[in-house]
């Protein structure tokens, strides 16, 4: 494979740590098909949740681009990738992990620009976990046993029993915006370890790290067509064209249940294999004999980390009556003390919501809660900074009873 140039010389500039466009203006993110970056001509803006400024222009994939990506993936299955053994593929995945380590700072910048999450979180969790996923699945693939044994048949003969492992084929990978790189690698690494080829459709809210991962794949020597990226939206766009494409053998999706239902309907035609993780609505339980200091600290962390935008965050708490008032008072005070602001600030603990549209939805639920009789004990509104962050998508950490 020939080396490819970075998508833009200024794309991963340190300005992105503040959620602002890189020097020289927004960079261009393009789809990656068959080992090269392509641009169908139509563009959309990726807006920073920190400042509301456009940090990237994104080239939206049209239906022919999606079709070309699926065709490239199918071709890769019949090429060198399809002929590799598990140990050889594992070596390629380790090379991907090494290249992720080499591009560590660029990946942090991409994650922060897309999500507005704290730089400290991206550096300690999201990016290290991405590389770790490739290493973990490389080891699983390289050490997977191949069963082979004989048994005696009822007629007195002998039967040879053995396992044959083969890839599913072309896997459509559709990932959400809350942990873009972590969840992307969590799907791509095992798919590649098992010999599949993938077409990735990242969220339109977080297109950067998937684009950068394409550069990483090329630099690590992944054959052309094994990893493809198509940018765009869902219904009537890249997401729908990908999940309904007859050349796709399986779909893995993390996101909201309504989208999962639509994908399942599309996958029914052709009986595609599906893997869904459709979020959660999780309750925490606090009993009267709990260590309340630990319970409050744990509840704050599990409720407000990542702006509360994780499927395993705690959305509601049930507290035993003898400690209810004390716990609620402590939790409310702690919520008011949760720090949020510029992503590069080492002292912040949370982040803005992914977009102003998402913030309006959350604020609408705050209003509905008040109408239905809730008491707002902390937060419940939008913070004011007096600077560029007022154009972002921040909301106050909120406690309602």
- Catalytically annotated residue among 53, 57, 139, 311: 311
Distance CA 121, CA 346 (A): 9
- Catalytically annotated residue among 277, 326, 346, 360: 277
Structure tokens at 386: 């007096």
Q: Three-class SS string for the chain?
A: CCCCCCCCCCCCCHHHHHCCCCCCCCEEECEEECCEEECCCCEEEEECCCCCCEEEEEECCCHHHHHHHHHHHHHHHCCHHHHCCHHHHHHHHHHHHHHHHHCHHHHHHHHHHHHCCCHHHHHHHHHHHHHHHHHHHHHHHHHCCCCEEEEECCCCCEEEEECCCCCCCEEEEECCCCCHHHHHHHHHHHHHHCCCEEEEECCCCCCHHHHHHHHHHHHHCCCCCCEEECCCCCCCCHHHHHHCCCCCCEEEEECCHHHHHHHHHHHHCCCCEEEEECCCCEEEEECCCCCHHHHHHHHHHHHHHHHHCCCCCEEEEEECHHHHHHHHHHHHHHHHCCCCCCCCCCCCCCCCCCCHHHHHHHHHHHHHHHHCCCCEEECCCCCCCCCHHHHCCCCCCCEEC
Judging by beta carbons within 10 Å of its beta carbon (0-12, 13-18, 19+), is residue 239 exposed, middle or buried? Answer: buried
Structure tokens at 287: 């009993």
**194 flagged as catalytic:** no
Q: Phi and psi dihedrals of 36, rounded to 5? A: -145, 155
Distance CA 25, CA 347 (A): 28
Q: Is 51:392 a contact under the CB 8 Å cutoff? A: yes
**313 flagged as catalytic:** no
For helices 180-193 and 208-220, give the axis angle rounded to 10 degrees.
40
Q: So which residues are the catalytic ones? A: 277, 311
């Amino acid at each position: 494979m020939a080396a490819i140039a970075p998508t833009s010389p200024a794309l991963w500039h340190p300005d992105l740590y503040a959620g602002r466009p890189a020097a020289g203006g927004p960079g261009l993110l393009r789809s990656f098909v068959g080992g090269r970056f392509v641009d169908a001509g139509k563009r959309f803006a990726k807006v920073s949740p920190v400042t509301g400024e456009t940090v990237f222009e994104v080239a939206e994939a049209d239906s022919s681009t999606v079709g070309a990506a699926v065709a490239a993936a199918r071709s890769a299955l019949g090429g060198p990738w399809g002929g590799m053994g598990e140990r050889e593929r594992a070596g390629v995945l380790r090379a991907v992990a090494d290249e992720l380590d080499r591009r560590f700072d660029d990946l942090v910048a991409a994650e922060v620009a897309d999500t507005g999450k704290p730089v400290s979180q991206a550096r300690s969790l999201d990016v290290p976990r991405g590389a770790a996923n490739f290493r973990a699945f490389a080891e699983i693939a390289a050490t997977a046993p191949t069963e082979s044994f004989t048994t005696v048949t009822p007629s007195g003969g002998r039967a040879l029993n053995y396992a044959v492992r083969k890839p599913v084929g072309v896997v459509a990978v559709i990932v959400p915006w809350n942990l873009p790189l972590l969840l992307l690698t969590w799907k791509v690494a095992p798919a590649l370890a098992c010999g599949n080829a993938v077409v990735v459709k990242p969220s339109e809210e977080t297109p950067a790290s998937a684009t950068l991962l394409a550069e990483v794949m090329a630099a690590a020597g992944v054959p052309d067509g094994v990893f493809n990226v198509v940018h765009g939206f869902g219904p009537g766009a890249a997401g729908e064209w990908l999940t309904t494409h007859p050349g796709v053998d399986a779909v893995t999706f993390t996101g909201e249940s309504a989208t999962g239902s639509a994908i399942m309907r599309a996958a029914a035609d052709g009986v595609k294999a599906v893997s869904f993780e459709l979020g959660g609505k999780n309750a925490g339980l606090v009993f009267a004999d709990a260590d309340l200091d630990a319970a409050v600290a744990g509840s704050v962390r599990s409720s407000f980390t990542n702006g509360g935008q994780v499927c395993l965050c705690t959305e509601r708490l049930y507290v035993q009556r003898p400690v209810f008032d004390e716990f609620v008072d402590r939790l409310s005070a702690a919520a008011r003390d949760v720090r949020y602001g510029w992503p590069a600030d080492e002292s912040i603990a949370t982040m803005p919501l992914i977009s102003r549209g998402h913030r309006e939805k959350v604020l609408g639920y705050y209003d509905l809660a008040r109408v239905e009789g809730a008491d707002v004990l902390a937060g419940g509104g939008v913070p004011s900074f007096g600077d560029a962050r007022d154009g972002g998508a921040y909301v106050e950490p909120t406690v309602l009873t």
